[in-house]
Amino acid sequence: MSPPRTPTLPRSQGRSNHLHRIEFVARPISKTPENDPAGSFQLDFEPWKSSPATMANLKAYNTAFKNARRLYHLRLQQNQLTQDEEVEVRRLATELKNILMDIDVNVPGSHCPLWPYFVGGAESTSQIERSYFYSRLESIWIKTGSRNPNVAMRGLLYIWSLGEGVNWAIQIENLQR
């Protein structure tokens, strides 16, 4: 399978070959979990009880955002992880990727978990997984016209270009400075 192609910007947004800051909606706001208001992320499922497909997606989004947030915070402290936390990172990454790959892209709202798709892509090591997450971000970009999916796509290409074993969360934080 060939590597994902480099995204291009619509004419209205101009063209850029440089990776600028990586920033996303729904990205954890704080580097420490206890100061992160996203830690209380919880959806109100009541209005959607009559739609099982939407309800299933909402539950998947909820878990995906929580897993992505936890992975991000664990990756930031990678040099200080206990053995149990290292096991948790692997479990969370696998669970996150499985949740996101199971989301029905035809159900309304499937474009919402942008940050989890980015984290899933950042945690991916196989070309198949990388292509999947890149194509999901690309389809969200095409569907919404939003700038964030394009930034996420470029961010993944940058992270993957650094090679295996690079801590993507620390790379993001270094770009933010």
pTM of the model: 0.74
Mean pLDDT value across residues 151-157? 91
- Could you read off the pLDDT of 125-141 as tens digits, one per residue? 899 999 999 999 999 89
CB 169 within 8 A of CB 92: no
- Residue-level pLDDT at 80: 78
Q: Which range among 11-15, 79-83, 99-103, 114-118 shows the weakest confidence by mean pLDDT?
A: 11-15
**Res 102 pLDDT > 80:** yes
pLDDT level of residue 46 (50, 70, 90 thresholds): low
- pLDDT of residue 168 exceeding 50, the answer is yes
Residue 164 has pLDDT above 50, yes or no: yes
Q: Are 35 and 73 in contact (CB under 8 A)?
A: no
Residue 165, by phi and psi: left (phi above 0), alpha (psi -120 to 50) or beta? left
Q: From CA 46, how far away is CA 153, in angstroms rounded?
A: 34
pLDDT average, residue stretch 95-105? 88
